[in-house]
Amino acid sequence: MNIPYGPILIVEDNPNVRELLEVTLHFKGYPVVAVENGQAALEFIAHEHPALIVTDILMPKMDGFALVHTLRKDPRTTRIPVIFISATYITPEDKAFAMSLGAVRFIEKPIDTEDFLLTVAEVLTQDLAIAPPPLDDLEFYRGYRERLEYKLRHKQMQIARIERLLQTLPEEQRPAFELLRTRTLEDRDQIQSELNQLYRILGEQER
């Protein structure tokens, strides 16, 4: 299968998901490049123009929202179609914000590979509507702050529920929920770190 304008770029920090997407697309004959975060994606795009970007949202260094906002502001990259994938940002408000940035599709994890391949084929073969104009930086940062604050509250509630549950579980059932707690704590800390950075940026912008 030939794609006239470059490879499909996968941007995903989870190595298992990244490999799944890469293998799935390779199996169908697509040229694929996979990177682990938005910063690595920008470095790749600086020297090669992808036909499509498939990106997670919650990632270290530069996440999917910031990546797409950056691409939309640059005339050289503003028309690259983007598919968001996420297990974290899946509320209607999350999806509305993602689409306001100019994404063409939103796929929830866990990924159904058949649906994923259909979506990729549709995006690559259909004439897509012109993306909305990019948000100005202040509008983007405020909208993004709202999404992060909501996610942080949600993670805090999840952690509290897990910790209450751990106090009542028999010993043999605890390891699975302790692992879940560890992963949820990592997600919370990452969201908090990104939120702290946003507060600093907004403080400078709003002076």
The pLDDT tens digits for 145-164 are 999 999 999 999 999 999 99
Let me know if 201 is exposed, middle or buried by CB neighbors in 10 A (0-12, 13-18, 19+): middle
Give the model's pLDDT for residue 60. Answer: 83
Q: How confident is the model at residue 2 (pLDDT cuts 50, 70, 90)?
A: very low
| pTM summary value | 0.86
The pLDDT tens digits for 161-183 are 999 999 999 999 999 999 999 99
Buried b (16+ CB within 10 A) or exposed e, 88-109: bbeeeebbebbeebbbbbbbee
Q: What is the mean pLDDT of residues 66-94?
A: 92
Q: How many CB atoms lie within 10 A of CB 183?
A: 11
Asked if residue 85 has pLDDT above 60, the reply is yes
